[in-house]
Amino acid sequence: MPSRRAFLTGVAGFAAAPAFGAAPSTSLRPVIRPEGFFRRAVTSGATLIEQARLGGRVGYAVADAATGRMLEVVNPLVALPPASVAKAVTCAYALDRLGPGYRFRTRIVADGTLADGRLDGDLWLVGSGDPLLDTDTLAAMASDLRGLGLHEVRGRLILAEGALPQVFQIDPDQPQHVGYNPAISGLNLNFNRVHFEWARQAGEYRVTMDARSETIRPPVQIARMRIEDRAAPLYTYAQVEGRDHWTVARAALGNEGARWLPVRRPGAYVAEVFQTLARSNGLTFRSVELADAPPPTATILVEHVSEPLEDILRGMMRWSTNLTAEVVGLLATQAGGTRPADLRASAAAMSDWMRDRLGARQADFVDHSGLGDQSRVRAQDMVAALVAAGPNGLLRGLMRDIPMLDAQGNRRANPPAEVVAKTGTLNFVSSLAGYVRTNTGRDLAFAIFCGDVERRAALSVEERENPPGGRDYSGRARRLQQQLLDRWAIVHG
């Protein structure tokens, strides 16, 4: 669709062109257009949806973000999977319940007598659910113990992961091997992923599994890989004696490569990595155990404090990290006085909060990240939530800039508006919700939900990582979203 500038330029150029150099047969005085003529000439939203040929359903709503007055809707009451747009609601939920300055604290505490560099008792590693804890941080904490002069622990290493309920995986309907569907615990490490790398040498594969970070790569045994001669499935998973046992099809590997695989027992993963790091600092333990929490009399030796929640959420919105969304959502529910049994229970509490605090009439979440495709939100309710959060509120500041593109997919040099929003993508589901600030200074709140849920439901689990037609659907959905943004900037600006 042509921009307003191109449209006006084109009309002017056409009107000024003389016919074969002859005198005009009619006056060149501009014809006075009826009020709103240009806006009525812009392609309607319903027509744009029809032209996109997405299949399934599309619903959208756009409102004045300052007053809440609804300006334009198409199927605003059709409930569709929000995908990662759910993270915008999770942000608002966490900010309300925890506050923007909330910080995660990971501690090493001593339960026993500490004298002359020797601990007669147990050393505890106590988690608070920090979703950004990585191997470099654990290494620094182990080094800090040496800096305190600790050189011997006569008791156990105990890892406390009871700050959050244990969750085996976010969404059971995802392929087993995708790294964006990890387990959740009160102790999380490297987004609860293990790094699998392979390389062919003399016709055989060398395989490594490690807990790498920016500077170190400690190997792990909690996750193991075996290569098998088969065409399919690509990966298989089983838990054997408390370890993650993976197999991979040899035909799929090629000469070399790497990928992150999910960890299903985060506490045991952290335990193995911390033992390795402590050993490099001269510390060993009588045994290693997992527990919920240390005794209240334990003494804090080392503490890692995270960045403020506001900054963590900004990173989550940019990179769309599912683990972060689930952790902060679970903590927000607990801050409301309820210890949820699982993700679905916590997500139900967030659904209730969205209705009570953000003016949504219907909302049904099954998790906090949007990974589960059984969540349902209506465009009108999402817009009501954005209006309630405010066009200049904290939520807007956490959203990503969304560039406005031309018909060739290039960033426009002089866009008619500035857009900040959260994107959401599942196979045959595409969503976008946020704020538009037009060049006249008007703020709009909008939500666009596209979903062919029947086509998605027909996929096998193995097809869900890269299904036939999935990329084409996503591309056409994004083009439709751009066209709608362009329309609204012109018509409602």
* Number of domains into which the chain is organized: 2
pLDDT tens digits, residue range 361-403? 999 999 999 999 999 999 999 999 999 999 999 999 999 999 9
Main-chain phi, psi angles of 449, to 5 degrees = -120, 120
Same domain, 273 and 397: no
Please say if the pLDDT value at position 469 is more than 60. Answer: yes
Same domain, 277 and 407: no
Please say if the pLDDT value at position 17 is more than 60. Answer: no
Same domain, 436 and 295: no
Flag whether 249 is in a domain.
Answer: no
Flag whether 445 is in a domain.
Answer: yes
Flag whether 277 is in a domain.
Answer: yes
- % residues pLDDT > 70 (the chain): 92
Please say if the pLDDT value at position 278 is more than 50. Answer: yes
- pLDDT confidence of residue 12: 31
| Residue 464: pLDDT band with limits 50, 70, 90 | confident
Same domain, 51 and 149: no
Flag whether 23 is in a domain.
Answer: no
Determine the structural domain holding residue 435 and report its residue range.
38-100+310-491
Flag whether 12 is in a domain.
Answer: no
Please say if the pLDDT value at position 28 is more than 90. Answer: no
Distance CA 222, CA 263 (A): 9
- Return the structure tokens found at 244: 């993650």
Average pLDDT over residues 455-483: 93
- pLDDT confidence of residue 39: 61
Please say if the pLDDT value at position 461 is more than 90. Answer: no
Same domain, 274 and 363: no
Flag whether 236 is in a domain.
Answer: no
Flag whether 255 is in a domain.
Answer: no
Secondary structure letter of residue 3 according to DSSP: -
| Residue 24: pLDDT band with limits 50, 70, 90 | very low
Same domain, 191 and 79: no
Same domain, 79 and 213: no
Flag whether 238 is in a domain.
Answer: no
For residue 426, the Cα-to-chain-centroid distance in whole angstroms is: 12
Among residues 396, 390, 392, the alpha carbon closest in space to that of 359 is found at 390
Domain end, chosen from 273, 306, 339, is at: 306
Same domain, 357 and 411: yes
Please say if the pLDDT value at position 457 is more than 50. Answer: yes
Average pLDDT over residues 421-429: 97
Please say if the pLDDT value at position 162 is more than 90. Answer: yes
Distance CA 161, CA 166 (A): 8
Secondary structure letter of residue 405 according to DSSP: B
- pLDDT confidence of residue 33: 46
pLDDT tens digits, residue range 222-231? 999 999 999 8
Same domain, 354 and 468: yes
Strands 152-153 and 157-160: unpaired
Same domain, 115 and 163: yes
- pLDDT confidence of residue 315: 97
Same domain, 114 and 213: yes
| pTM, two decimal places | 0.90
SS3 content of the chain, % helix, strand, coil (to 5): 35, 25, 40
Please say if the pLDDT value at position 31 is more than 50. Answer: no
Same domain, 72 and 152: no
Q: Three-state DSSP class for 31?
A: coil
More confident residue, 13 or 203: 203
Average pLDDT value for the chain = 91
Residue type, position 147, single letter:
G
Domain end, chosen from 277, 306, 335, is at: 306
CATH code of residue 359:
3.40.710.10
